[in-house]
Structure 1
Amino acid sequence: MTFAFGLPSGSEWFWIFVVVFLLFGAKKLPELARGLGKALGEFHKAKEEFEKEVRQAAKVETEEPSQNIPKIASPEGTVSRITDKEVNKSS
């Protein structure tokens, strides 16, 4: 004997609805549906916000690294180093 766990079929949905109706009654069903709808809406908003943050993080990582490195000024009283290329240009 094998058991398959999956989505309920047509007749199973009917019996699930009957049990829910008997447990909660006709007056509570609209409130339950409203609460479920609000919860799904909040979940959808949170999912979109998370995806937006992931996209922004990916965008920042793909930018050129030289744009993200801050320029650091040399300390006062120091002389900048003269390279061979600069010496050859001035000659």
Structure 2
Amino acid sequence: MFGLGPTELFIIALIILLIFGAKRLPEIGKGIGGAIREFKKVKKELSSDTPEKNKASSHSEGAEPEVTTTKIEQKVKDKVLEQVPGVKKVIDAKKKVDKVKDIVK
């Protein structure tokens, strides 16, 4: 597994436990699990949409695949950011700071 033995994996797990603490580990695991679930969901959607898009793109070529890719990237980004603990608070704080900047200007 990635060239890491059981000893190295144990040391990494121990370091993660020391950094984040036992209370935050379930949150982190839940966030990572949700992110993986979203990746699989999007991958499944992409694989099921691919034959339809290939037929459509063979008839007319345009900027649609690029726009679709951008939308999918944004959707995945939003879902992943929602799943990671603490990131939502940071995003909310950034929005508040941006609002304050707009008011000050």
TM-score by length of 1: 0.56
Provide the identity percentage.
Answer: 35
**Paired position in structure 2 for 1:48:** 44
Distance in 2, matches of 1:61 and 1:32, equals 41
**Deviation at residue 22 of structure 1 after TM alignment:** 0.2
Aligned runs of 1:55-70 on 2, under 5 Å?
Answer: 55-58=51-54
Report how many aligned residue pairs link the two structures.
58
Aligned runs of 1:70-81 on 2, under 5 Å?
Answer: none
Q: What's the CA shift string for 1:10-56, capped at 9, x where partnerless?
A: 10000000000000000000000000000001001110111111122
Q: Which has the higher contact order (CA 8 A, sep 6+)?
A: 2
The structure where helix makes up a greater share of residues is: 2
**Deviation at residue 7 of structure 1 after TM alignment:** 3.3
Unaligned runs of 5+ in 1: 1-5, 63-91
Decide which of 31, 40, 46 is 2:27's aligned counterpart. 31
What's the secondary structure of 1:8's corresponding residue?
A: coil
